[in-house]
Chain A
Amino acid sequence: MPGQPVIEIENLYHTYMKGTPMEHTALKGTSMVVNEGECIAIIGHTGSGKSTLIQHFNGLIRPISGKVIIDGVDLSKKRIDIKALRRKVGLVFQNPEDQIFEKLIGDDIAYGPFKLGLPLKEVRERVKWAMDMVGLNFEEMKDRQTFALSGGQKRKVALAGILALQPKILVLDEPTAGLDPRSRNEVLDKIKFLNKMENLTVIFVSHNMEEVAYLADRVYVMANGSDVLSGTPEEIFTDKEKLQRYQIGTPETVQALYRLKDLGYNVDTAAFTISEAANEIIKVLANGEGENHG
Chain B
Amino acid sequence: MMTAVLIAILLATLAAAAAAMSLRNLIHSVLLLIGSWLGVAAFYLMAGAEFVAFAQLLVYVGAVSMVVLFAVLLTRRSRTDIAVSPDSVSRAWSAVFAAGAVLAVLVYGVLHSALPHSPPPRPSVTVGQLGALLTGPHSAALLVIGVVLTVAMLGGVVIASTDRPSAKEDEK
User: Do A and B truly interact?
Assistant: no
**B residues apposed to A, CB below 8 Å:** none
